């Protein structure tokens, strides 16, 4: 406050022309694209549950939990005060509460616990919503979801562990799994010398008896990246004399004693800071083999493919939250005499971002339905196999630019830590790195085409379902098919090939399911190429207002 010569007071801190916090809104009801897709793709039965979950996650209290969980990051506790090795990670209570919200909402288990159709779609909805509040808790939730099909390669282990990891009770106690009301799972695959090349792993497994599937081993080795080290058990890879095999490593042995699972350090990561990631060592660590000996990669890939689905969910969720924040800010902020949403150039930027987010959400939900279809008809697996790699590559590349542009829409107000935008920005590259980088995904598409040739006609059939709806998409389908059949320099062209497939796929989906204005904008810009190098370069004459209105979050 300042005092005038007359003695009167005036305020120097009256805040005007600022957006109110985007809190106390329903993350499901205010997302028209998500709600439409949930009904269309088979999860209409989940609408009331999604609505309740969206209201909870959009509340000011839960949004604040996300901020607290990132402000107070995990701490590694190697020993207790008496010198005993404990290898524990301590989290802020906000992290535990967020993880409980996700697990109680079935974000890890709806796909398995719902016996009718649409379980994967419903579960995708809740994971998509939760990730907009805080992505860190989505890592253990994703692994707990994804481990189920891998565990089923070993029925006796699945009988013991699947009920634990599909429980909707979060039990954070560090005690043997048999005494808990619910468990979470982790995964430890990569090593320093190999990274994505897991066949370069050096961890060894020695049988404690006859060996083989379902039997006991001791592991010795170092895993360079183990996420969520306070999980109750982990799938991991190690070599036997037969070859690289998959193992289940619990934190406690069957007799109740702590397993020899040694946390070396927590990673100081760019983003995803609320979630602990670590380096660990196995030194005579007790484990049981899951699946066929020497077939560790095919066994654990059942888990990896489902976590790759979650990478697409994570990327699409970050896009949605970034775009919602940008539109909300621009709706309340004025410059040069009028609201930002009335400024022609800002309209172009916001509409462009909204189109990207809508296309991502529609693609994500179509992929989720494919996983549901696989449970009914295994012949659909070919489409899911190639579609997952394409979607993960594409959405994980697109999200980084979307979040950056949304942050720029806020100016300096988006660059401070009180805003959620810096957290989204740090998070944006994550899903493109975890579970296979962009190059790994593109090479995986080529591998599917070569080793599983049925994947190509399955994917082409998906594209052809939109044939005749728009000449521009028809041409994109033809270009994509040409890329698939041009054998020369296929590996060096892999990103070009996969990008062509992704654009044609999103174009087809937007024509079939998107809003008319959004579909036209997508076809004109992404398919026909009538745009510049950056967001905000849509061609003139598009229905910007309608596109922005469709994507705008609604308070209350």
For 226-273, the pLDDT digits (tens) are: 999 999 999 999 999 999 999 999 999 999 999 999 999 999 999 999
Q: How does residue 319 score in pLDDT terms, banded at 50, 70 and 90?
A: very high
State mean pLDDT over 204-216.
Answer: 97
How far apart are the C-alpha atoms of 535 and 340, rounded to whole Å? 16
- At 1, is the pLDDT very low, low, confident or very high (cuts 50, 70, 90)? very low
Task: Report if residue 200 sits inside a domain.
Answer: yes
The 10s digit of each residue's pLDDT in 516-549 is 999 999 999 999 999 999 999 999 999 999 999 9
Tell which wins on pLDDT, 183 or 192. 183
Phi, psi for 42 (deg, rounded to 5): 115, 10
Q: Are residues 318 and 288 in the same domain?
A: no
> Does 149 map to a domain?
yes
Question: What pLDDT was estimated at residue 9?
Answer: 58
End-to-end, the C-alpha distance of the chain in Å comes to 34
Q: What is the pLDDT of residue 494?
A: 95
Q: Average pLDDT in the 429-445 region?
A: 95
Do residues 395 and 495 share a domain? yes
Residue 553 banded pLDDT, cuts 50, 70, 90? very high
404 CB-near residues (< 8 Å, 6+ apart):
425, 428
> Is the model's pLDDT at 40 over the cut of 60?
yes
- Cβ neighbours for 447, distance < 8 A, ≥ 6 positions apart: none
11 within some domain:
no
Same domain for 239 and 264? Answer: yes
Q: Return mean pLDDT, the chain.
A: 95
Asked if residue 381 is part of any domain, the answer here is: yes
CATH number of the domain that residue 431 is part of: 1.20.140.10
Same domain for 341 and 381, yes or no, is: yes
Mean pLDDT score, 74-90: 96
Confidence of residue 221 (pLDDT cuts 50, 70, 90): very high
Mean pLDDT of 292-300: 96
Within a domain: residue 471? yes
Of 318, 324, 227, the C-alpha closest to 274 is 227
**What are the pLDDT digits (tens) for 453-512?**
999 999 999 999 999 999 999 999 999 999 888 767 889 999 999 999 999 999 999 999
pLDDT of residue 3: 47
Listed residues 141, 165, 189: the one ending a domain: 165
Which helix (H) or strand (E) segment is 279 a member of?
strand 277-290
397 and 470 co-located in one domain: yes
Same domain, 399 and 449: yes
> Are residues 331 and 409 both part of a single domain?
yes
pLDDT at site 488: 77
DSSP state of 412: G
d(CA 262, CA 26) in angstroms, rounded, equals: 42
Whether 2 shows a pLDDT value over 50: the answer reads: no
Residues 183 and 133 in one domain: no
Share of the chain above pLDDT 70, in %: 97
Same domain as 421, residue 349:
yes
Owner of token pair 């959400």: 361
Same domain? 215 vs 160 = no
Return the SS3 of 409.
Answer: helix
Per-residue pLDDT band for 193 (boundaries 50, 70, 90) equals: confident
What are the pLDDT digits (tens) for 320-362?
A: 999 999 999 999 999 999 999 999 999 999 999 999 999 999 9
CA distance 243 to 480: 38
Let me know whether 360 and 463 are in one domain.
yes
CATH of the domain at 247: 2.40.110.20
Asked if residue 223 is part of any domain, the answer here is: yes
The pLDDT value recorded for residue 502 is 98
| Residue 156 included in any domain | yes
- Last residue of one domain, picked from the residues 263, 282, 298: 298
Are 106 and 172 a contacting pair, CB within 8 Å? no
Give the chain's domain count: 3
Tell me which H or E stretch contains 509.
helix 494-513
| Closest residue by Cα to residue 96 from 230, 206, 6, 195 | 230
Per-residue model confidence (pLDDT) at position 8: 52
The most distant pair of C-alpha atoms in the chain lies apart, rounded to whole Å, by 95
* pLDDT tens profile 5-31: 444 556 677 888 899 999 999 999 999
- Looking at the domain assignment, is residue 9 inside a domain? no
For residue 501, give its domain range: 299-551
CB 430 within 8 A of CB 314: yes
Same domain, 136 and 263: no
Final residue in a domain of this structure, among 99, 133, 165: 165
């Amino acid at each position: 406050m300042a005092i005038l010569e007359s003695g009167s007071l005036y305020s120097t801190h009256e805040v005007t022309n600022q957006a109110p916090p985007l809190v106390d809104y329903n993350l499901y009801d205010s997302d028209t694209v998500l709600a439409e897709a949930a009904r269309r793709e088979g999860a209409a039965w989940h609408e009331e549950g999604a609505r309740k979950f969206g209201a909870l996650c959009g509340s000011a209290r839960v949004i604040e939990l996300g901020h607290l969980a990132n402000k107070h990051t995990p701490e590694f506790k190697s020993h207790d005060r008496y010198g005993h090795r404990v290898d524990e990670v301590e989290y802020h209570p906000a992290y535990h509460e967020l993880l409980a919200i996700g697990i109680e909402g079935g974000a890890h288990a709806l796909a398995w616990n719902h016996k009718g159709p649409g379980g994967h779609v419903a579960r995708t909805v809740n994971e998509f919503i939760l990730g907009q509040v805080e992505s860190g808790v989505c890592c253990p939730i994703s692994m707990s979801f994804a481990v189920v099909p891998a565990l089923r390669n070993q029925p006796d282990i699945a009988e013991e562990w699947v009920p634990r990891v599909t429980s909707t009770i979060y039990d954070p106690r560090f005690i043997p799994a048999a005494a808990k009301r619910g468990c979470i799972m982790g995964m430890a695959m990569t090593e320093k010398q190999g990274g994505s090349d897991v066949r370069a792993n050096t961890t060894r497994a020695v049988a404690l008896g006859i060996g083989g599937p379902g039997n006991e081993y001791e592991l010795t080795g170092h895993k360079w990246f183990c996420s969520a080290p306070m999980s109750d058990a982990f799938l991991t890879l190690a070599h036997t004399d037969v070859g690289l095999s998959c193992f289940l490593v619990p934190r406690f042995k069957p007799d109740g004693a702590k397993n020899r699972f040694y946390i070396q350090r927590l990673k100081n990561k760019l983003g995803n800071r609320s979630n602990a990631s670590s380096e660990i060592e196995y030194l005579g660590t007790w484990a049981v083999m899951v699946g066929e000996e020497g077939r560790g990669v095919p066994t654990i890939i059942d888990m990896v493919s489902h976590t790759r689905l979650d990478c697409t969910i994570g990327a699409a969720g970050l896009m949605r939250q970034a775009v919602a924040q940008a539109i909300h800010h621009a709706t309340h902020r004025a410059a040069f005499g009028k609201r930002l949403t009335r400024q022609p150039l800002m309209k172009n930027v916001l509409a462009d971002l909204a189109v990207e987010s809508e296309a991502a959400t529609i693609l994500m939900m179509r992929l989720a339905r494919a996983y549901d279809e696989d449970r009914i008809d295994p012949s659909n697996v070919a489409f899911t196999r190639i579609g997952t790699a394409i979607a993960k590559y594409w959405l994980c590349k697109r999200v980084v630019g979307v979040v950056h542009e949304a942050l720029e829409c806020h100016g300096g107000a988006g660059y401070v830590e009180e805003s959620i935008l810096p957290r989204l920005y740090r998070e944006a590259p994550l899903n493109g790195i975890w579970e296979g980088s962009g190059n790994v995904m593109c090479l995986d598409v080529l591998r599917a085409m070569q080793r599983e040739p049925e994947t190509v006609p399955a994917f082409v059939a998906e594209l052809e379902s939109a044939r005749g709806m728009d000449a521009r998409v028809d041409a994109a389908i033809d270009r994509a098919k040409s890329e698939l059949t041009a054998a020369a320099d296929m590996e060096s062209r892999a990103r070009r090939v996969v990008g062509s497939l992704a654009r044609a796929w999103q174009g087809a989906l937007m024509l079939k399911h998107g809003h008319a204005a959004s579909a036209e904008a997508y076809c004109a810009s992404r398919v026909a190429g009538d745009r510049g190098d950056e967001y905000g370069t849509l061609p003139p004459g598009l229905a910007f207002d309608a596109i922005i209105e469709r994507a705008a979050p609604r308070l209350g």
